[in-house]
């Protein structure tokens, strides 16, 4: 693919603002970024939190690793470069959703600190909330769960560059919240996330 830079392109401001949309929805759009090993519980927590927020009448939308990779990012693999591009695109998509007033729950392994920090900076530059939620389980626990049988395949050498096996996972150094899903119930994880969102004024009432 030839890289082309967007030149002579300008952001076009409308007359309805993000603040107007947030007011209409009674919430503040924000990105909740779940990161962690495959099998740590990112999708499980995001699904449960989505259900809880929806039941409260919040507009919430999940972006999930497997789903996004079946669609917009289907041309990307798992090299460090492709993972960076995967996360960059998802970061941009999340930002558009936040601008629309939506609470985004994103679940991606996102193993590289620099890639996650780039998404954080993108949000901060746009004066948008970015909450990094580290779903922190020991590799042995994720491997024991192995919900998709991928660790088994990676151990057998049938999948290369598998995070935690023959590819790195760089743990967050200052996440907004840590969820040790091997020591915490799913209900407690959801409660902890809801409390944090309230604290941050993402759920103003």
Ligand X SMILES: Nc1ncnc2c1ncn2[C@@H]1O[C@H](COP(=O)(O)OP(=O)(O)O)[C@@H](O)[C@H]1O
Q: For residue 31, what are the β-bridge partners?
A: 104, 130
Task: Give, for 103, the enclosing helix (H) or strand (E).
Answer: strand 103-107
> Which residues in 24-43 contact ligand X (CB under 6 A)?
36, 38-43
Note whether 83 binds ligand PPS by CB under 6 A.
yes
Selected range binding ligand PPS among 7-15, 106-114, 181-189, 197-205, rule: CB under 6 A: 106-114
Residues 6+ apart with CB under 8 A from 199: none
* CB of 32 closer than 8 Å to CB of 103: yes
Closer by beta carbon to ligand PPS, 61 or else 78: 78
Active-site residue flag, 181: no
Note whether 45 binds ligand X by CB under 6 A.
yes
Binding mask 36-75 vs ligand PPS (x if CB under 6 A, - otherwise)? --xx---x---------------------xx--x------
Note whether 150 binds ligand PPS by CB under 6 A.
yes
CA separation for the pair 104, 27 (Å, rounded): 12
Annotated binding site for ATP: 36-43
Note whether 91 binds ligand PPS by CB under 6 A.
no
* Minimum separation from the CB atom of position 41 to ligand X (A): 3
* CB of 62 closer than 8 Å to CB of 105: yes
Q: How many CB atoms lie within 10 A of CB 95?
A: 20
Q: Is 106 exposed, middle or buried (0-12, 13-18, 19+ CB in 10 A)?
A: buried
* Minimum separation from the CB atom of position 22 to ligand X (A): 29
Residues 6+ apart with CB under 8 A from 204: 26, 27, 28
Please list the active-site residues.
110
| Interface residue list for ligand PPS (CB under 6 A) | 38-39, 43, 65-66, 69, 78, 83, 86-87, 108-111, 148, 150, 159, 161-163, 167
């Amino acid at each position: 693919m030839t890289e082309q830079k967007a030149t002579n392109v300008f952001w076009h401001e409308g007359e309805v603002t993000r603040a107007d949309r947030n007011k209409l929805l009674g919430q503040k759009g924000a990105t909740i970024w779940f990161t962690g090993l495959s099998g740590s519980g990112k999708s499980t927590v995001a699904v449960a939190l989505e259900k809880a927020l929806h039941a409260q009448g919040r507009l919430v939308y999940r972006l999930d690793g497997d789903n996004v990779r079946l669609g917009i990012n289907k041309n990307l693999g798992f090299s460090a470069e492709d993972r960076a591009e995967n996360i960059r695109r998802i970061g941009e998509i999340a930002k558009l959703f936040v601008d629309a007033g939506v609470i985004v729950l994103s679940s991606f392994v996102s193993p590289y600190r620099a890639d996650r920090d780039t998404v954080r900076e993108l949000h901060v530059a746009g004066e948008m909330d970015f909450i990094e939620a580290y779903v922190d389980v020991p590799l042995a626990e994720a491997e024991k769960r192995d919900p998709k049988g991928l660790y088994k395949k990676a151990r057998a050498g049938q999948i290369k560059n598998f995070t935690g096996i023959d590819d790195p996972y760089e743990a967050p150094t200052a996440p907004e919240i840590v969820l040790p899903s091997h020591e915490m119930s799913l209900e407690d994880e959801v409660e902890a996330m809801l409390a944090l969102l309230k604290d941050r004024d993402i759920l103003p009432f």
